[in-house]
Amino acid sequence: MTAITALTGARIFDGDRWHDRSAVLVRDGAIVGIAPQADLPADAAVQQLDGGMLVPGFIDVQVNGGGGVLLNDTPTAEAMERIATAHRAFGTCRLLPTLVTTSADAVAAALTAARDAGSGVAGLHLEGPHVAPARKGVHDPQFMRRMTDADVETLVSADVGRLLVTIAPEQVAAAQVRRLVESGVIVSLGHSDATYEQAMALFDAGATGVTHLFNAMSPMQGRAAGLVGAALDASTVWCGIIADGLHVSAPTLSIALRAKRPPGRLLLVTDAMPTVGSTVTSFKLGERTVTRQGDRLTWTDPNGAQVLAGAHLDMASAVRFCVTALKLPLEEALRMAALYPASFLRIDDRHGRLAPGHVADIVHMGTDLTVRRTWLGRA
């Protein structure tokens, strides 16, 4: 058995509470425990850190690209690992590479790739093709279609770790959702003009997520609560948010945070594109050219309008936005980046906390909430 490593010299947030003058004990890629500095094992290999804080590794369930790589261009295991490596510099230890609406051949390739990928790739997120053209966003409507029973069986047999699918109620049947959920697929609603009633029917069938709340979905109105209203009202549902101040305003997110019925919560996602962790300033998504201006990514639609196309956002920046713009306690912002995504993916028995038996995914952050170092444990 290998020796214990003791990470000390920083405050420790275990996912629930803070520990001072303590160390995180790690062996063989797993958390052994948190111990006072005065009680460290005699044979521990001590790594002394220069202040800051140790927090649970971030988990991102919606990552289209990073490091100059877009998954839709090259749905391979190597591309997934390059994306994961790019995001690890910003504290993301586990992620779901995300394939936006595309051809059936690309979906099949991504499912195969996700089975072979390692290095922090926790599975796959298929955002489409079973979404609604009325709320297409940057997705290509030529590939959007209703879900068939054959599609269901393909997803059920995928065996890719955690498989998350974003679907629109307009394109699926409740029985199909029920079959997916019973087989372990995580179902999220998004890119949809669904009514409150349509959404609630699929939550009753087992859907437990809403993809990038407020974006590409029917809004909440006085006489029509829409998908947004259903997402906030359904206690079983977790809602991803893109916390960059561009996709949703800070006041709107603050209202949603107060309104969301627990135990489901809002969790951070980046919806990141290839620009994160790279010098890329433009790229192609299908036939569309996406351009970066500052932190904003857009493409020009046929009417000349600028349409948001994913995000130039990393998880550490999203945490900072929650603390500075939304005035959230740091502890809650960190849970939104780690524990809540782990709970949504049903991997919180091994991820999302610095607790005995958990995977040693650890982030060392400065007091300015920038990432100094990231450790990836053994899943």
pLDDT one-digit tens code per residue, 218-254 = 999 999 999 999 999 999 999 999 999 999 999 999 9
Give yes or no: residues 32 and 108 share one domain. Answer: no
Q: Which of 95, 156, 101 is nearest to 126 (CA)?
A: 101
Residue-wise pLDDT tens digits, 76-115: 999 999 999 999 999 999 999 999 999 999 999 999 999 9
Strands lying side by side in the sheet with 22-27: 30-36, 22-27, 5-8, 45-48
CATH of residue 313's domain is 3.20.20.140
Cβ proximity of 356 and 346 under 8 Å: no
Pair 77, 117: CB distance under 8 Å: yes
Whether residue 80 contacts residue 120, with contact meaning beta carbons closer than 8 Å, is answered with no
- In this prediction, residue 6 has a pLDDT band, given cuts at 50, 70 and 90, of very high
- Do 172 and 235 lie in a common domain? yes
Are 41 and 22 in the same domain? yes
Same domain, 275 and 311: yes
Pick from 173, 131, 124, 123: nearest CA to 152? 173
Structural domain for 365, as ranges: 5-55+355-375
Mean pLDDT, the chain, whole residue set: 96
Question: Does 102 lie in the same domain as 10?
Answer: no
30 shares its domain with 124: no
DSSP bridge pairs for 125: 98, 164
38 burial (CB, 10 Å; 0-12 / 13-18 / 19+) is exposed
Domain CATH code at residue 34: 2.30.40.10
**What confidence category does residue 1 fall into, taking pLDDT thresholds of 50, 70 and 90?**
low
**11 plus 97 within the same structural domain:** no
pTM over 0.95? The answer is yes
Task: State the total domains in the chain.
Answer: 2
Q: Is 271 a catalytic residue?
A: yes
Instruction: From the candidates 14, 271, 314, 348, give the one annotated as an active-site residue.
Output: 271
Residues 365 and 263 placed together within one structural domain of the fold: no
In whole angstroms, give the CA distance from residue 339 to residue 196.
Answer: 28
Question: Does residue 350 lie within any of the structural domains?
Answer: no
